[in-house]
Amino acid sequence: MAIELRGVTKRVGGEIHIYETSLALERGGFNVLLGTTQSGKTTLMRIMAGLEKPTTGEVWFDGENVTGIPVQNRSVAMVYQAFINYPSFTVFDNIASPLKVAGTRKSEITARVRDIAELLKLSPMLDRLPNELSGGQQQRTALARALVKGADLVLLDEPLANLDYKLREELRDELPKLFADTGATVVYATSEPLEALMLAGHTATLAAGRVVQFGKTAEVYRSPATLESARVFSDPPINTASVEKRGDSIHLSELVSWKTPERLASLQDGRYVIGIRPYHLLPFGTGVKVVGVVQIAELSGSESIVRLMVEGNNWVSEAHGMHAYEIGAHAEFHFDPDRCLYFDADQNLIRA
Amino acid sequence: MNKTLNQRAWWLVLPVLLLVAFNAFIPLMTVVNYSLQETFGDNVFFWEGLTWFESVLKSERFHAAFLRQLLFTAMILAIEVPLGIAVALTMPRRGPWVSVCLVLMALPLLIPWNVVGAMWNIFALPDIGLLGYTLNSMGIDYNFTQQPVSAWMTTVVMDVWHWTSLVVLLCYAGLCSIPDAYYQAARIDGASGWAVFRYIQLPKMKRVLTIAILLRFMDSFMIYTEPFVLTGGGPGNTTTFLSIDLVKIALGQFDLGPAAAMSIIYFMVVLLICWAFYTVMMRNEER
Amino acid sequence: MARIELKGVRHAYWTAPGQQPVYAVQEVNQVWEDGGAYALLGPSGCGKTTLLNIISGLLTPTDGTVQFDGQDVTQRPTTERHIAQVFQFPVVYDTMTVFDNLAFPLRNRGAPESHIAERVRQIAEMLDLENSLKNRASGLTADGKQKISLGRGLVRSDVNVIMFDEPLTVIDPHLKWLLRSKLKELHQQIGVTMIYVTHDQTEALTFADDVVVMHEGTIVQVGTPVELFSRPNHTFVGHFIGSPGMNVLPCQLENGTAFYHGHAVDVSNPAPSGLDGKMEIGVRPEFVRFAADGIPVRVEKVDDLGRFQIVTVNHDGDIIRLVVEEGLEIPSEDPRIGFDPDNTLLYRDDWIVDGVAQ
């Protein structure tokens, strides 16, 4: 089902929770809402579901205005961060519940529940109660319940956040495949950029109640429309600094400068902002050299994450291999100026 | 969070509203009506204005009943709240004895109130009651039908027996909601049992305690059935609490005007004290 | 400061009479050196919290002994073991100020007020709490409250070990690294033994000098983060550490050479001849490369994660993952892969083949 939000805002009391938003999601697509906590992801999902009414604006499903229609009458399924299951029903009954409410025939219920349970590896647990299951199994039950409903819109609100990180990886792999076959439109909220990248599809970056950018995940990542979009889509945070273009060279400071890349030759002289991804700032290599004061170095057996102060900016370097530093030491780092993102004074991306 | 509005639910409430209006609101208005007028029956009314209110507030009899009531409520709260907390603390929170304890605690609450009064009446009779006979045979001069002190003691003990369980169950629920980690941390910090009570259990029970105290205050301030069945308000009028006095005036003497005025005053007093108490407790919590 | 030794520790929770006991912890023998920074890493249900509670004394093990500096403390209660513990959810005394919270353990032990004031100030400074000392503890943010929990442990100078039970659970994800590195910094400053229980490999590998990996009640490997990454003793360790985890593929042993579906694979730990059992090769996705003369595969998925790409390929039903650098062209025609022999390991019955009889 194609979903469209037209001019939707949400105001609670005196506060604006969602600024004017217009979004169009294709039928059958996998869409990620990426943003930190309190950025409006959950509110937006609740408006799509019909659990909340927008203060202004409309919600359209497949060309029909559904703004006033309550959630029971929309074809929606939702999975939450906390594993929500009926505590007194067995796994089988939990999964069967939406079908029972819809009045499906008993034989059909049994067949469909068994199919879905097989898909989610729950077959040996059909007779158990939710509190006898592990966290991962409980969430699988909630997912099964959402799947079996066959809803046109499936909303997942950070469903993996309460799981062990390895379990998260496993389920994350399975999720897009599970829902792809049903043809449902999926909206998945998360605060981890890595999850958005792994789930692919389309991503909307959100910050403080605004949808900053929406598009194919890879494009939003590689070409963030604004500095804010780049920030949301980066963990550890993207390295930024104010630079000045003087003719054919760009200056970070009096000591650090490099030749203006070809594609930016026609830019006016003046102040701009660069964005360097942490994994492009390395303790080795060629390219522009900067010297920073190491604040914290975290080594994890295969990667080194070093936080340092460079020309008054808090920067982070993410490098492969183990590179140890003393706190307070001066260290050299390198980055390739061609790989930087350049933003103008309004924080919009300067494209080639 | 505002859900999509579904106004149709109000229709379901309508029958209840009508019922409440019939059973409570209209009678209340009737009382207000009576309190402002004089009547001798036959629906003949003479406007008296605030005369009844004045006379009630000035009457010695009202003051005496009011003071008795205050004393009773104060004694009840002073005994039942600490006792309830203490019992709740000793009840097990896990294991097979939990259900046994909960049932034992619930039993006194299930007995109809006039049966409670009757039970204690017989139990405390000085000649044939188990308690009365035992006390007298131990040398204590005990007769609740004739001695004011014995009557008071018996009434208080009866109420404690009847209602402490409510405080216990509420506090127990509050205690059960404290996560284990708090107790573990306290053990690690070397806290004594008293410190655990003061810094962990009591603060966490605050909400439930507020409700328990509020409930016990209201119920004990308005108590009627049990003391009426037990002592009838006697000996003399030593255990005539406010509600018993009110009924005597209204039904005994058929002075509807003063009785109605007294009811309104009674109602206002309870409301005022509850409001004041609640505000103080809530303000403490916000701080 | 203490050296903690666990000998033959096993623990089964309450078992109904007549039933076989189910051991949450099976046969643990482990030494925790004085002043070490340890992480206890494993998925939920592996027994790590049980082990933590056995060390702290909140649980008495069904079998085995716990020794602190050579003294048997198995039966001794928590208060006598002089430990500190930071829980998953911040435990603070809401009615007290930050200062009183930190002073609480010292006051319980009857220390003089002047000593208490000095010590509390010292610890508050270490934790960046010196400006909040007069505030009510209930008003602090989650990480502030966790710091108070930690501070209550640090403030006592007789602490043998500080234990952390998934302490970053309630911390805002973007601020986790702050508290993580503060813990590491504190360890370097104070040098008290620290045991950090978690299921998150980043937390474990960045904090600890030695990581103890648990799986289904047993310790499968103890090592430095580098060792765990490059030479996992058990296929579980290979799978659990690393994102994505190690590729584990079935293989056959013929005359000492490993064969994967007929292709010979060089391993860095070749087996002595005559070895039998379930043989597998383990190779991390970082060490699988596209090689023109390698094993033919079908490319199923390419995930662009910015820093690198994860390529999922399929050979004969086996799913293999590669981690390749940003921007690398994935061969579209006849893709073939090869394994880096220096980082391919041979496993027998899930355990690494040492060249020594298992």
CB of A177 within 8 Å of a chain C CB? The answer is no
pLDDT band at B2 (very low <50, low <70, confident <90, very high): very low
Per the prediction, chain B carries an average pLDDT of 86
Q: Give the closest-approach CA distance of A11 to chain B in angstroms.
A: 10
- Counting as contact any 3 or more CB pairs under 8 A, the partners of C are A, B
Q: Does the distance separating the beta carbons of C205 and A300 come in below 8 Å?
A: yes
Q: Give chain C positions within 8 Å (CB) of B181.
A: 87-89, 91
Nearest residue, CB atoms, A70 vs list B1, B2, B4: B4
Taking residues C52-73, report their average pLDDT. Answer: 89
Question: Once rounded to an integer, what is the mean pLDDT over residues C306-310?
Answer: 88
**Is residue C1 pLDDT above 90, yes or no?**
no
C-beta pairs of B211-216 under 8 Å, 24+ apart in sequence: B211/B170, B212/B81, B212/B84, B212/B166, B212/B167, B212/B170, B212/B171, B213/B77, B213/B81, B213/B277, B214/B274, B214/B277, B214/B278, B215/B166, B216/B76, B216/B77, B216/B80, B216/B81, B216/B163, B216/B166, B216/B167
- Test B191 with C89 for CB contact under 8 angstroms: no
Chain A residues whose beta carbon lies within 8 Å of the beta carbon of residue C239: 166
- In this structure, are residues C343 and C283 in contact, taking their beta carbons and an 8 Å threshold? yes
Measured between beta carbons, the chain B residues lying within 8 angstroms of A69 are 4
Find the residue in B nearest to C53 (Cα).
B184
Q: Cβ contact (<8 Å) for C95 and B203?
A: yes
Q: What is the mean pLDDT of residues C60-76?
A: 89
SS3 A232: helix
Which subunits sit against A, judged by 3+ Cβ pairs under 8 A? B, C
| Residue among C50, C103, C84 nearest C183 (CA) | C84
Check pLDDT > 80 for residue B42.
no
Report pLDDT digits (tens) over B64-95.
888 999 999 999 999 999 999 999 999 988 88
> Which residues in chain B have their CB less than 8 angstroms from residue C149's CB?
185
Residues in C touching B188 (Cβ below 8 Å): 56, 78-79, 83-85, 105, 153
pLDDT greater than 60 at residue B129: yes
Q: What is the pLDDT of residues C196-254, one digit of tens each?
A: 999 888 889 988 999 999 998 899 999 998 889 889 999 999 999 888 889 999 988 88
Judged against a pLDDT cut of 70, whether residue C152 lies above it is answered with yes
Mind listing the pLDDT tens digit for each residue in C86-103?
A: 988 888 998 889 999 999
Token pair of B47 as six digits: 């406007």
Selected residue of C52, C81, C93 to mutate for chain B interface (largest B Cβ count, 10 A): C93
Neighbouring subunits of B (3+ Cβ pairs under 8 A): A, C
Distance from CA of C305 to the nearest CA of B (A): 37
Residue A328 forms contact with C (CB below 8 Å): no
C-alpha distances (whole Å) from C251 to each of B2, C234, C256, C280, C345 are: 60, 16, 12, 5, 11
What is the rounded distance in angstroms from the CA atom of residue C40 to the CA atom of residue C119? 30
Instruction: Tell me which chain C residue has its CA closest to the CA of residue A200.
Output: C303
Q: Which of residues 193-222 of A touch C (CB under 8 A)?
A: 194, 197-198, 200, 218, 221
Average pLDDT score over residue span B51-57: 82
With CB atoms and an 8 Å threshold, state whether B3 touches A68.
no
A262-305 confidence digits (pLDDT tens): 888 888 888 899 999 999 999 888 888 899 999 888 888 788 88
User: What average pLDDT score do residues C46-51 get?
Assistant: 88
pLDDT at B286 over 80: no
ipTM of the complex: 0.82
Low-confidence spans in chain A with pLDDT less than 70? 352
Q: pLDDT tens-digit profile of B207-253?
A: 888 889 989 998 999 899 998 999 888 788 888 898 888 888 877 77
- Chain B CB contacts of C58 under 8 Å are 184, 187
| % chain B with pLDDT above 90 | 26
Backbone φ and ψ of B212, nearest 5°: -60, -45
Convert chain C into a string of H (helix), E (strand) and C (coil). CCCEEEEEEEEECCCCCCCCCCEEEEEEEEEECCCCEEEEECCCCCCHHHHHHHHHCCCCCCEEEEEECCEECCCCCHHHHCEEEECCCCCCCCCCEHHHHHHHHHHHCCCCHHHHHHHHHHHHHHCCCHHHCCCEHHHCCHHHHHHHHHHHHHCCCCCCEEEEECCCCCCCHHHHHHHHHHHHHHHHHHCCEEEEEECCHHHHHHHCCEEEEEECCEEEEEECHHHHHHCCCEHHHHHHCCCCCCEEEECEEECCEEEECCEEECCCCCCCCCCCCCEEEEECHHHEEEEEEEEECEEEEEEECCCEEEEEEEECCEEEEEEEECCCCCCCCCCEEEECHHHEEEEECCEECCCCCC
Q: B7 contacts in A (CB within 8 Å)?
A: none
Asked whether residue B40 carries a pLDDT value surpassing 80, the answer given is: no
- Label residue B1 by pLDDT band (50, 70, 90): very low
Q: Does B206 touch chain C (CB under 8 A)?
A: no
The dihedrals phi and psi of C306, each to the nearest 5 degrees, come to: 80, -80
User: What confidence category does residue B263 fall into, taking pLDDT thresholds of 50, 70 and 90?
Assistant: confident
Tens-place pLDDT, residues C310-343: 999 998 888 999 999 888 888 888 889 999 988 8
Tell which C residues from 142 to 181 touch A, by Cβ distance under 8 Å. 172-174, 177, 180-181
pLDDT at A346: 83
Q: Which residue from A36, A298, A327 is facing C177, i.e. has the nearest CB?
A: A298
